[in-house]
Amino acid sequence: MGRYTGPKVRLSRRVGVPIADIAKHTGKELSLPGMHGYRGRRNTEYGVRLAEKQKLRYHYCVQEKQFRRYLNAAKSSKGNTVNSMLQLLEMRLDNVVRRLGVGRTIWAARQLVAHGHVMVNGKKTDIASCAVKAGDVVTFKEGIHKVLRENMESNVGHNVPAWLEWNPAQLTAKVNASPNPEDVPFEVNMNLIIEFYR
């Protein structure tokens, strides 16, 4: 099965939290699916863990197989599994582009990468899941600069995280360090997700 191409707000409604920072996802009308937003059954323990996992998957626009791969890589790393998992997801190229504020959503950021507008250390990179490292420089091709500036104007108030050094005048960014779990602007219980895969 390929990536999800259906209605995006439905995903936010399904997990009960906004998975994108735009008005459609954060508005008051975000309620439970269905005409009256009624869900008759109480969630089971399995359902609670599944919902937490889906929140993270939808937020980073990752397929189930990729998500399992990231979790296995985080488990085999030396540090804390939770921190490693969040770092792996945050350091994806499409997510870095989103955090810079030049793409309003993860889907817009993915499209910028997939269409070949993003360069890492001077090389064109069109793979959204490409992992950037501390010291990498992210730039954009000349032809897309006007669109990026318009996106930034419509995204006023966006805060670039401290682990990224962003120069909006030249549209260049540098990855200064690996992100901490506190740098992730998204509430999620990682322990429940790890329990889900046991």
Q: Which CATH architecture best describes the domain 92-177?
A: Roll (3.10)
Residues of the chain with CATH 1.10.1050.10: 9-88+185-196
Residue 3, pLDDT score: 76
CATH 1.10.1050.10 fits domain 9-88+185-196: yes
pLDDT of residue 175: 94
> What are the start and end residues of each CATH 3.10.290.10 domain in the chain?
92-177
**Residue count (the chain):** 198
Q: Percent of the chain beyond pLDDT 70?
A: 89
Cite the DSSP H helix spans in 115-197.
Answer: 145-154, 190-196
As a three-state string, the secondary structure of 57-123 is HHHHCCCHHHHHHHHHHHHHCCCCHHHHHHHHHHCEHHHHHHHHCCCCCHHHHHHHHHCCCEEECCE
Q: Encode pLDDT of 16-75 as tens digits.
A: 787 877 766 666 555 555 666 555 567 888 988 998 999 899 989 999 999 999 999 999
